[in-house]
Amino acid sequence: MKARIISTGYYLPERILTNKDLEKMVDTTEEWITQRTGILERRIASENEATSDMGSAAGAAALEKAGVSPGDVDTVICATITPDHLFPSTACLIQKKLKLSNAFAYDISAACSGFLYSLASAESLLKSGAAETVLVVAAEKMSSITDWKDRSTCVLFGDGAGAALLKRDDSGRGILSTYMKSDGNMGDLLIVPAGGSRMPASEKTVAGRLHYLRMQGNEVFKVAVRNMLESAQAVAEEAGIHSDEINLVIPHQANLRIIDAIAKRLKLGKDQVYVNLDRTGNTSAASIAISLAEADSQSILKEGDNIILVSFGAGFTWAGVALQW
């Protein structure tokens, strides 16, 4: 018996912010952003659009595609680091919006690894029998924690949401293996300093721009490549998938140079690696969820395909999931 993704959905906000637009906002160039990151444009949510709105749109799409009625969902897990509020959880807000009246709901905070941590949690609930139908949503309004005066970070991020609906399955398809790791020692390299109990919001924190994301990008870069590789190899090995049997790797979309480095070490061709960060930027937890749902909607994923999902994010957190589609 395995936990299987029976449908997916995604949502991207309408507004497109291009590298040319960013040239007018900070001291940067279209060329620098394209060459250093691979990002050409990203989507930005409207002012009155919050994380739960995007997450609900993605979740509704997944439910509709599967033909599952809202009352049949018993668990909602939302991966996000940009919740609508400190509490209640964004998962509870999504539950309300989608009328998932028979579900219990909670958030997972694991930054860019949030979707994979959530899939692993969903798998455990399904396999133990504690859940029958789990809606995993990964949604981020990264623009709400972006310092639009900091050129080293504001060119990187975007908004959006993806969702996956999971059920138990005895066909042999589904999640084959999962791998989750964290290292809190390096948390300061990627952080929103204020707004929590350590540094509650005050005039001083606002003046100091401490509610925005701060990242030491080049330090994060090195660890990301190493740990995403480790995750991919660990899940593939546990699932018994040899490198020449991998149909598609969907990596977290942070930087094309990171993705290329992983693809090279795993000896993967271009068509074996899913990339959309040229259009989406880094959407944190939502990144792999959006990618998976896009690949699903484009029929890139074929029944029986071996797929590896791999992530790295703040915390630090990193994870891998191997699945047979």
**Distance between CA atoms of residues 159 and 144, nearest Å:** 9
Our finding on whether 211 is near ligand UT7 (CB under 6 A) is: no
Of 55, 59, 313, 315, the one binding ligand UT7 by CB under 6 A: 313
Our finding on whether 39 is near ligand UT7 (CB under 6 A) is: no
Our finding on whether 17 is near ligand UT7 (CB under 6 A) is: no
**Which residues does 189 contact at the CB level (< 8 Å), separation at least 6?**
215, 216, 219, 220, 316
Which of the residues 78, 92, 112, 154 is marked catalytic? 112
Site residues for ligand UT7, 64-123, by CB under 6 A, read: 112
Q: Which two tokens stand for residue 69?
A: 């009625």
**Distance between CA atoms of residues 160 and 285, nearest Å:** 9
Stretch near ligand UT7 under the rule CB under 6 A, chosen from 99-107, 173-181, 250-258, 265-273: 250-258
Based on the residue annotation, tell me whether 252 is a catalytic residue of this protein.
yes
Pairing of strands 133-141, 159-169: antiparallel
Our finding on whether 135 is near ligand UT7 (CB under 6 A) is: no
**Distance between CA atoms of residues 325 and 317, nearest Å:** 25
Instruction: Calculate Rg over the CA atoms of the chain.
Output: 19
Which of the residues 19, 252, 255, 306 is marked catalytic? 252
Our finding on whether 145 is near ligand UT7 (CB under 6 A) is: no
Angle at 35 (CA atoms; ends 225, 320), nearest 5 degrees: 25
Our finding on whether 218 is near ligand UT7 (CB under 6 A) is: yes
Angle between helices 30-37 and 256-265 (to 10 degrees): 20
Stretch near ligand UT7 under the rule CB under 6 A, chosen from 3-11, 147-155, 242-250, 294-302: 147-155
Q: Find the shortest distance in angstroms from Cβ 191 to ligand UT7.
A: 11
Based on the residue annotation, tell me whether 282 is a catalytic residue of this protein.
yes
**Would you give the binding string for ligand UT7 spanning residues 274-303, x where CB under 6 A is met?**
--------x---------------------
Q: Find the shortest distance in angstroms from Cβ 316 to ligand UT7.
A: 9
Are 78 and 280 a contacting pair, CB within 8 Å?
A: no
Closest CA to 110 of 153, 77, 143: 77
Nearer to ligand UT7 (CB atom), residue 70 or residue 217: 217
Say how many C-beta atoms besides its own lie within 10 A of residue 277's C-beta: 25
| DSSP result, 28-40 | --HHHHHHHH---
Q: Containing H/E element for 104?
A: strand 104-108
Stretch near ligand UT7 under the rule CB under 6 A, chosen from 138-146, 212-220, 242-250, 293-301: 212-220
Q: Residues with catalytic annotation?
A: 112, 252, 282
Q: Which residues of this protein are in contact with ligand UT7, per CB under 6 A? A: 28, 32-33, 36-37, 112, 151-152, 155, 217-218, 220-221, 224, 254-255, 258, 282, 312-313
